[in-house]
Amino acid sequence: MAKMNVNGKNYDVDVEPSTPLLWAIREQIGLTGTKYGCGVAQCGACTVHINGAPVRSCSMPVGAVGAKKVTTIEGLAPDGVLTKVQKAWLENEVPQCGYCQSGMIMAVTALLAKKPKPTDADINAAITNICRCGTFQQVREAIHAAANA
């Protein structure tokens, strides 16, 4: 049994401490916006925030998270009002299949919290998510648009 705080709510989840955070979020709490892509922290589709910092949840054991605050894609706009990153994503029509975009949006949201006006070099260093549809050109445009919003 582990205690978790996800999107501002407390949960008791019945998993081994070694269970990756990703699977606790998806299978215990039931939030499926956070995706499984590789399971080895390579693709970033599972990116969530822990105390505001981007983390690849597939490789983070629940036991190591403890009471820290976890935010998933569902927690970005709980009242239905899109964040400026989500709005920029909508305006620039970033997603194609969309499967990687939850993780992409979480990574970008964390970047902008730290660096509100990132340069292209900042973006290149911070955003290492894989997108097989190849949306990077729109991702970059949308990051700058969100930064200037």
Partner 1 sequence: MNNTMPNLSRRSFVIGSAAVGSGLALGLNLPFASRLARAAETTPEITAWVVIKPDDSVIIRMARSEMGQGTMTGLSQMVTEELECDWTKVSTEYPTPGQSVARKRAWGDFSTGGSRGIRESHEYVRRGGATARTMLIQAAADEWKVPSAECAAANSIITHTPSGRTTTYGKVAEAASRLPIPKDVALKDPKDWKIIGKRMRRLDTMDKLTGKQIYGADFKLPGMLNATIKECPVFGGKVKSFDAAKVEGRKGVRKVVQVGDSAVAVIAETWWQAKTALDALPIVWDEGESAKVSSATLAAALKEGLGAEQAFVGNKNGDAKSAIAGATKKVESVYAYPNLNHAAMEPLNATARYTPDRCEVWLGTQNGEAAFAAVLAASGLPADKCEVYKLMLGGGFGRRGAFHDFVRQAVLIAKQMPGTPVKLMWTREEDMTQGRYHPLTQCKLTGAFDSNNNLTGLHMRISGQSILNSVRPEALVNGMDPATFQGVAASGEFEFGYAAIPNFLMDHAMRNSHVPPGFWRGVNVNQNAIYMECFMDELAHAAGQDPLEFRRKLMTKNPKHLAVLNAVAEKADWGKPAAKGVFRGLAQMKAYNSYVAACAEVSVTDGNRVKVHRIVCATDPGYAVNPAQIERQIAGSFVYGLSALFYQECTVKNGRIEQTNFHNYNSMKIAQMPKIEAIVMPSGGFWGGVGEPTICVAAPAVLNAIAAATGKRYRSVPLKNHGITLV
Nearer to partner 1, 10 or 134 (CB): 134
Of 13-72, binders to partner 1 (CB under 8 A) are 15, 19-20, 23, 26-28, 30-40, 42-43, 45, 72
Of 65-104, binders to partner 1 (CB under 8 A) are 72-74, 76-77, 82, 86, 89-90, 93-102
Q: Count Cβ atoms below 10 Å from residue 60 Cβ, excluding itself.
A: 19
Q: What distance in Å separates the CA atoms of residue 83 and residue 45, rounded to the nearest whole number?
A: 19
Q: How far are the Cα atoms of 36, 77, 80, 133, 144 from residue 137, in angstroms, in the given order? A: 23, 25, 27, 11, 11
Q: How far are the Cα atoms of 35, 54, 75 from residue 51, in angstroms, in the given order? A: 20, 9, 13
Q: Indicate whether 118 belongs to the interface with partner 1 (CB under 8 A).
A: no
Binding site for partner 1 (CB under 8 A): 15, 19-20, 23, 26-28, 30-40, 42-43, 45, 72-74, 76-77, 82, 86, 89-90, 93-102, 105, 123-125, 127-140
